[in-house]
Amino acid sequence: MYSFNNDYSEGASPQILDALIRENLVQNSGYGLDGHCRAAANRIRQEIRRPDADVHFLTGGTQTNLIAIAAALRPWQAVISASTGHINVHETGAVEAAGHKVLTASCPDGKLTPDQIAGILALHTDEHMVQPRMVYISDSTEVGTCYTKQELSALSGFCREHGLYLFLDGARLGSALTCASNDLTLADIAALTDLFYIGGTKNGALLGEALVIVNEALKPDFRYMIKQRGAMLAKGWIAGIQFEELFRDGLFYRLASHANEAAGQLRQALEACGVAFAYPPCTNQLFPILPDAWVEALSKDFQFQFQDKPDSTHTCVRLVTSWATPPEAAEAFRKALLALAAG
Amino acid sequence: MYSFNNDYSEGASPQILDALIRENLVQNSGYGLDGHCRAAANRIRQEIRRPDADVHFLTGGTQTNLIAIAAALRPWQAVISASTGHINVHETGAVEAAGHKVLTASCPDGKLTPDQIAGILALHTDEHMVQPRMVYISDSTEVGTCYTKQELSALSGFCREHGLYLFLDGARLGSALTCASNDLTLADIAALTDLFYIGGTKNGALLGEALVIVNEALKPDFRYMIKQRGAMLAKGWIAGIQFEELFRDGLFYRLASHANEAAGQLRQALEACGVAFAYPPCTNQLFPILPDAWVEALSKDFQFQFQDKPDSTHTCVRLVTSWATPPEAAEAFRKALLALAAG
Amino acid sequence: MYSFNNDYSEGASPQILDALIRENLVQNSGYGLDGHCRAAANRIRQEIRRPDADVHFLTGGTQTNLIAIAAALRPWQAVISASTGHINVHETGAVEAAGHKVLTASCPDGKLTPDQIAGILALHTDEHMVQPRMVYISDSTEVGTCYTKQELSALSGFCREHGLYLFLDGARLGSALTCASNDLTLADIAALTDLFYIGGTKNGALLGEALVIVNEALKPDFRYMIKQRGAMLAKGWIAGIQFEELFRDGLFYRLASHANEAAGQLRQALEACGVAFAYPPCTNQLFPILPDAWVEALSKDFQFQFQDKPDSTHTCVRLVTSWATPPEAAEAFRKALLALAAG
Amino acid sequence: MYSFNNDYSEGASPQILDALIRENLVQNSGYGLDGHCRAAANRIRQEIRRPDADVHFLTGGTQTNLIAIAAALRPWQAVISASTGHINVHETGAVEAAGHKVLTASCPDGKLTPDQIAGILALHTDEHMVQPRMVYISDSTEVGTCYTKQELSALSGFCREHGLYLFLDGARLGSALTCASNDLTLADIAALTDLFYIGGTKNGALLGEALVIVNEALKPDFRYMIKQRGAMLAKGWIAGIQFEELFRDGLFYRLASHANEAAGQLRQALEACGVAFAYPPCTNQLFPILPDAWVEALSKDFQFQFQDKPDSTHTCVRLVTSWATPPEAAEAFRKALLALAAG
């Protein structure tokens, strides 16, 4: 039984684990004020070409999203998201628990556009309604799609024109930046957003997300917010060491490329069998629409998540590959598919 | 210039004002622990045939909604509302500021149905999503429509079956209960909901809403919540006296009937001129769709709110009548309309 | 039975009530955007010699405190108060419910000093602790004492030097400004604080507090906060009319002087009987320490609140006079006291 | 330079690290729903003799405290703590950010008593004040002291009698349970509290705290709260594996004993030099009061934290030992001390 349930089913990339083992008994300062966190932050600053950026290491996506949003907004302000956005659906109301409304637009491909944001702004005109102040996007999105440089530039320009912070959730940024259709770099993202995070948990770290703040207005006192929300690790260097490795020699990109290649194998097999996709296949999350009988048959050897039921005889499922997916697992899936297609 | 902007443009019904004047210099206990609040609560308990109900007097709708919802929900729980619901659109995110997500369904006539709620429940199945625990409706709704006894009974049954509190926002409950199509009583509402409020501000009180709690589980410690959210009036009897009058001799219904009759005058005139309505005209809020030229002409003598623009030559406006609308104002509007229709 | 329980046992000053009656059926714009609120705000601006000040009318002290504090602070910031401060003891944790810690100093006379604040600042030095950002004081204080101009100037200077907002709770500001030892004016208070409120509820209004914001940084978007916390009255002009009267011709000061004079009568009688006070008697709240037998005897004809029990044979009580206290009530109390003292 | 700054300066106990390495590439279910978390929870249930207990694995102390407290309290309820309590001082107002007031008593030795709690209850009698509902203690305390079984039983009895939840912060519970004066077991703690946590971070885990809920009323929906506050690790088994090891064969106690023994070495040396302690030395935190000159001299080779300045020539510092403190480091400190004492 192999699981394509998600990209956080295994531990850490061996290179990362080795670094943790190597440093295990060295004494470090607590709370992220250590040399590894400093070194990792510097590597990220270099990678994004923003020596002035603030970099904080947190432990998970929901935590990073809620802290970034709650630190940026005043009590009456709201964040705009695709209705499929992780903060809107899968974070148990974490943003609302921090006091803020999530305003949503319906985005068939998971990507927000300036027009959709403009429509929301037009409806929020006085103090009887919340005040939109931030736009939240994810890249890759919750449905596996990616922003192009042109799309992100358009969003960025619109947000700056309208006084909206642009926050990019990069839980799966590695997969986005290494997929075939991508034309963005980390430096582009730093140039086009106000803050964003680089996901480690879903790209080969034991745990860890690197939150990058480029907008000066969002920097002051940020560590207070991290501590208050219970997100400041006593042994902060554990996250620092991992990002040091991820950005030491391109490991971050290699791990994500591996996940994308495994997804590519699956995609080719699915396409060869004439399978359609609910969303354009592009990164390490695929949403094929399969005959129900195939789903049942595949479930005997593979785990994957149910997405929805587009009609009475088909099921859309989610297949996720990771930095750790062995080529053999993808190959086994291909063979199983071909056998089903052959009837 | 006469204003049909809303039903809170004037002070208090003379009967209420007289009571306030009469009692002005009598000493009362503070914080709602006085004889007037007790007497008013008793009258309401009698009217709703629930001697066991708790009754609290608050000062406005947003305040009452946020306190009722925040007191009932645990941090991870959410309230379901029509997307047009007041709590979703016009309360500056007050529910979210209290930590709770508002889950919405699109309701063309402003009224929620069990099917819509079932659809939302089906999507909220585990701890990665908020937990729906309350349903919020308003009667009359934000678009002037009313629930029938059958509709409210169906909602009530569904909510009880699924462990959802049913909360009815009665800011304009008087208008609902006295409109031609109504078949509900206050006693029905108390029997079918867990808590609801009876609006005074929009029905002839200077200010005041009576929150009625019938579900035993929601009663304990409620005054703590009122005080904490800044809603406990030092001179609580000011609200008590007003509800004493509203429920002394049927004043509550007489005032609401007056508003409905004035709306009826406007409605007849509009229908006589062939005007269509965006929502079924029923209570003291009307949403006629007028030629733009008429809107411009009427604006010289009457105030009313813009609702939306259904096409390039028409505008939907909102006309609201009140307990204080003089028959002459409705008559003047009728004449102006007829003149326009006559070209 | 006459009640010295508090200064909000009666309705409104007749001058205020007359204005409400006179304007009762005139149509006004909702939500405080009416001519009365504008006129009242202008009178206050003139009185405090700050034409640039923002003035908002709210309905009670707890509400005003929580909104002012929550609007000014970022999530990790705290407010400093005397441990006897109303926000620390008698508001059911309203400030904490808005997310902020109240840091306290023990102040025997209810008044904070720069030294006490400095002591708190010295303990809050990094992101593991909350960040003090505002100082909350009340004048008169919860124990009936008042700040002198020198004391308030010292606090103001200290706060400005240390980047702390100074917020003055003026629920009983009228009594403070008209007491014998006072040397402050409303204009002084506007010059020395960042925001403060002028209490109406405890000085002859039916209800209403005028929040005055003089610090430019605290002005933007404030009405969003008022609406979100359920504090924006639909019939906002009800508060506006009352403050129009309070500041039309000195009514605010006359009402407060009356309360202080009645308290002066009580104080003289108490001193004549050799009674000591727990806090210096100064405004309309007195804290005499009485033999238990006297307390029992006086309770037959007068209501007042228990404060504490300094020893086994004495009780400290709180006597509060108001704008409405009839001279006869004070005289009756005096006679009762003298009879007790005479044995 | 050796650091006695704290007990979280190194990574993980080798036994724990080995388990993480061994399991690194095995696929696990996400979010703590895996076999390691189940096994670890079962071992803890067995250790505390409460097969019915719920066990959740979180990543840090502040996070665990805020979630436990926020999940247990209704909005108007407060938690009682020693004024030195971690939640009161060193968590950046996390409890208040979740909406709850922390009520404090001054405890010279860091330990709360029933009498102190009774004093707080006596002052909180109506809805104008917060409602105390939980008592927070830590064992060992922030000043290194421990509760005896008699003390904890007395607290437990008092809390049950007065409807207060008793929550024990066990960030350093290992050190408490293995110190010389201890007479409590984990089973006792489970029997005497409503919920508590067993600290891993400060006792040899990379990160992780095991929150144990024994009171049935606090169990429902707890995972919603964990997810909402950003505390649900995607790779939850990382915490699970660590607690599996800690409770496989007594490692938890062995690690803590090591820390206490190292502290014992330091304590003996300090006592031999005639040094007094600010708090009774007992666990792995020591608070010796040293001549300033010694502090300066020791700082050349050792790191430790400043605690306070009891007089003009002495400084109280905090020395913390850990599961990883090498005997050589303690010995070096002893020698340095003796040299200073010898002049």
pLDDT tens sequence for chain D (343 residues): 999 999 999 999 999 999 999 999 999 999 999 999 999 999 999 999 999 999 999 999 999 999 999 999 999 999 999 999 999 999 999 999 999 999 999 999 999 999 999 999 999 999 999 999 999 999 999 999 999 999 999 999 999 999 999 999 999 999 999 999 999 999 999 999 999 999 999 999 999 999 999 999 999 999 999 999 999 999 999 999 999 999 999 999 999 999 999 999 999 999 999 999 999 999 999 999 999 999 999 999 999 999 999 999 999 999 999 999 999 999 999 999 999 999 8
D86 in reach of chain C (CB within 8 A):
no
CA-based nearest distance A236→chain D, Å: 10
Please, which residues have CB within 8 angstroms of residue C163's CB and are 6 or more apart in sequence? C133
The CATH number that domain D14-250 falls under is 3.40.640.10
How far is the alpha carbon of A101 from chain D, nearest alpha carbon, in Å? Answer: 15
- Look at C228 and A128 and tell me if their CB atoms are within 8 Å: no
| Complex ipTM | 0.97
Contact yes or no for D318/D307 (Cβ under 8 A): yes
Look up the CATH architecture of domain A14-251: 3-Layer(aba) Sandwich (3.40)
Sheet holding A209-213, edge to edge: A54-58, A209-213, A195-199, A165-169, A131-138, A77-82, A102-105
- CB contact under 8 Å between D225 and B76, yes or no, is yes
CA A74 to chain centre: 25
Looking at chain D from residue 172 to 211, which residues have their Cβ under 8 Å from any Cβ of chain A?
A: 201-202, 206-207
Are B203 and B172 in contact by the 8 Å Cβ rule? The answer is: yes
Record the tokens describing residue B306, joined without a space.
Answer: 């813009």
Interchain proximity D228–B75, CB inside 8 Å: yes
Strands B165-169 and D165-169: unpaired
Contact B232 C207 (CB under 8 A): no
| C31, C99, C221: residue with CB nearest A76 | C221
CA B62 to chain C, closest CA, distance in angstroms equals: 5
3-state secondary structure labels for all residues of chain B:
CEECCCCCCCCCCHHHHHHHHHCCCCCCCCCCCCHHHHHHHHHHHHHHCCCCCEEEEECCHHHHHHHHHHHHCCCCEEEEEECCCHHHHCCCCHHHHCCCCEEEECCCCCCCCHHHHHHHHHHCCCCCCCEEEEEEEECCCCCCCCCCHHHHHHHHHHHHHCCCEEEEECCCHHHHHCCCCCCCCHHHHHHHCCEEEEECHHHCCCCCEEEEECCHHHCCCHHHHHHHCCCCCCCCHHHHHHHHHHCCCCHHHHHHHHHHHHHHHHHHHHHHCCCEECCCCCCCEECEEEEHHHHHHHCCCEECEEEEEEECCEEEEEEECCCCCCHHHHHHHHHHHHHHHCC
What fold does the segment set A2-6+256-341 form as a domain? Aspartate Aminotransferase, domain 1 (3.90.1150)
Find the closest chain B residue to C5 by CA distance.
B29
Nearest by CB to residue A75, choosing from C31, C223, C225, is: C225
pLDDT at B297: 97
In this predicted structure, the answer to whether residue A210 has a pLDDT above a threshold of 90 is yes
Q: Is A128 on the interface with C (CB under 8 A)?
A: yes
Q: Which CATH class is domain B2-6+252-341?
A: alpha beta
Count CB neighbours of D296 within 10 A: 11
Q: Whole-angstrom Cα distance, residue D59 to residue D233?
A: 8
D28 close to A (CB below 8 A) = yes
Q: Do B96 and A128 touch (CB under 8 A)?
A: no
CATH fold match for the domains A2-6+256-341 and A14-251: no
Q: pTM score > 0.95 for this model?
A: yes
Contact (CB<8Å) A229/D230 = yes
- List the one residue out of C97, C81, C98 whose CA is nearest residue C89: C81
> What's the angle, vertex CA D58, arms to CA D57 and CA D59, rounded to 5?
135
Which pair of tokens denotes residue D86? 């971690």
Place of tokens 């006086």: C298
Are residues C17 and B24, on separate chains, in Cβ contact within 8 Å?
A: yes
Q: Of A75, A127, A128, which has the smallest distance from its Cβ to C70's Cβ?
A: A75
Average pLDDT value for chain A? 97
How many Å separate Cα D149 from the centre of its chain? 17
Predicted confidence at residue A343, as pLDDT, reads: 81
B343 to chain A nearest CA, in Å?
34
Contacts of A251 (CB under 8 A, 6+ apart): A13, A15, A16, A204, A245
Q: What is the mean pLDDT of residues A232-254?
A: 98
What confidence tier does C20 reach under pLDDT thresholds 50, 70, 90?
Answer: very high
Q: What is the signed CA dihedral for B21, B22, B27, B32, rounded to 10 degrees? A: -70
* Nearest CB to B92; choose among A76, A90, A96: A76
**Exposure string for A272-304, b = 16+ CB within 10 A, e = fewer:** ebebebbbebbbbbbbbbbeeebbebbeeebbb
State the nearest Cα–Cα gap between A11 and chain D, in angstroms. Answer: 5
With tokens 């002066």, the residue in question is C264
Residue-wise pLDDT tens digits, B53-109: 999 999 999 999 999 999 999 999 999 999 999 999 999 999 999 999 999 999 999
Phi–psi pair at D212, nearest 5 degrees: -110, 125
- pLDDT over 90 (residue B343): no
Within 8 A of A28 by CB-CB distance, chain D residues are 9-10
Alpha helices in D49-165 (DSSP H): 61-72, 86-89, 94-97, 114-123, 149-161
Residue C273 reports pLDDT greater than 90: yes
Q: Which of B212, B191, B165 is nearest to B54 (CA)?
A: B212
Phi and psi, residue C111, nearest 5°: -110, 130
Query: With an 8 Å Cβ cutoff, are A10 and D20 in contact?
Result: no
Q: A84 with A112: CB under 8 angstroms?
A: no
Closest CB to D221 among B31, B74, B98? B74
Rg of chain A over all Cα atoms, to the nearest angstrom: 20
Question: Residues 229 to 268 of C: which have CB under 8 A from any A CB?
Answer: 232
Q: What's at B98, amino acid-wise?
A: A
Beta bridge partners of B306: B317
pLDDT digits (tens, 9 = 90+) for B235-277: 999 999 999 999 999 999 999 999 999 999 999 999 999 999 9
Residue with tokens 């330990």: D111
Separation in Å, CA C291 to CA C309, C310, C316, C332: 10, 11, 9, 19
User: What residues have CB less than 8 Å from C335, skipping those under 6 apart?
Assistant: none
State the DSSP code for D109.
T
Question: Could you say which of A89, A100, A130 has the minimum Cβ distance to residue B129?
Answer: A89
Nearest to A50 by CA among A58, A37, A41, A59: A41
* Predicted pLDDT of residue C343: 81
Distance between CA atoms of residues B238 and B230, nearest Å: 16
User: Per-residue DSSP letters for D177-216?
Assistant: HTSTT----HHHHHHH-SEEEEE-GGGT-SS-EEEEE-SG
CB contact under 8 A, A75 and B97: yes
Tokens coding A123: 């409806």
A76 touches chain B (CB under 8 A): yes
- Angstrom distance (rounded) from CA B70 to CA D326: 53
Query: What is the rounded average pLDDT of the residues C13-21?
Result: 98
Parallel/antiparallel/unpaired status of strands A165-169 and A131-138: parallel
- Residue A98 distance to chain B (closest CA, Å): 6
Omega prior to A29 cis, within 30 of 0: no
SS3 A140: coil
The string of DSSP codes covering D20-60 is HHHTTTS---STT-SHHHHHHHHHHHHHHT-TT-EEEEES-
* CA B144 – CA B320 distance, rounded (Å): 10
Looking up tokens 């006192």 gives A221
Interface of B with D in 36-75 (CB under 8 A): 70-71, 74-75
Between CA C116 and CA B270 the distance in angstroms is 69
For A175-226, give the DSSP string: HHHTSTT----HHHHHHH-SEEEEE-GGGT-SS-EEEEE-SGGG-TTHHHHH
> Which residues partner with C195 through β-bridges?
C167, C213
Show residues of chain C in contact with A31, CB under 8 Å.
128
* Chain B residues with beta carbon closer than 8 angstroms to that of A98: 99
The number of C-beta contacts closer than 8 angstroms across A and B is 53
pLDDT at C284: 98
> Chains touching chain B at 3 or more Cβ pairs under 8 angstroms?
A, C, D
d(CA A36, CA A55): 12
The nearest alpha carbon in chain D to A67 belongs to D230
Which chain C residues touch B169 with a CB distance below 8 Å?
none
**Is D226 an 8 Å CB contact of chain B?**
yes
Query: In this complex, which of A127, A130, A224 lies closest to C76 when CB atoms are compared?
Result: A224
Using an 8 Å CB-CB cutoff, list chain D residues near A233.
Answer: 59-60, 207
CA angle B149, B155, B160 (to 5 degrees): 120
Contact with chain C for residue A29, Cβ under 8 A: no
Q: Are A234 and A213 in contact (CB under 8 A)?
A: no
Whether chain C has a CB inside 8 Å of the CB on D306: the answer is no
Domain ranges of chain B: 2-6+252-341, 14-250
Q: For residue D129, which of C304, B227, B236 has the smallest C-alpha distance?
A: B227
Distance from CA of C96 to the nearest CA of A (A): 14
CB crowding A30-44: b at 16 or more within 10 Å, else e: bbbebebbebbbebb
| Residue among C31, C29, C30, C57 at smallest CA distance from C44 | C57
Residues of C in contact with B201 (CB under 8 A): 234-235
**Structure confidence at residue B142 (pLDDT):** 97
Q: Which residues pair with C131 in a beta bridge?
A: C77
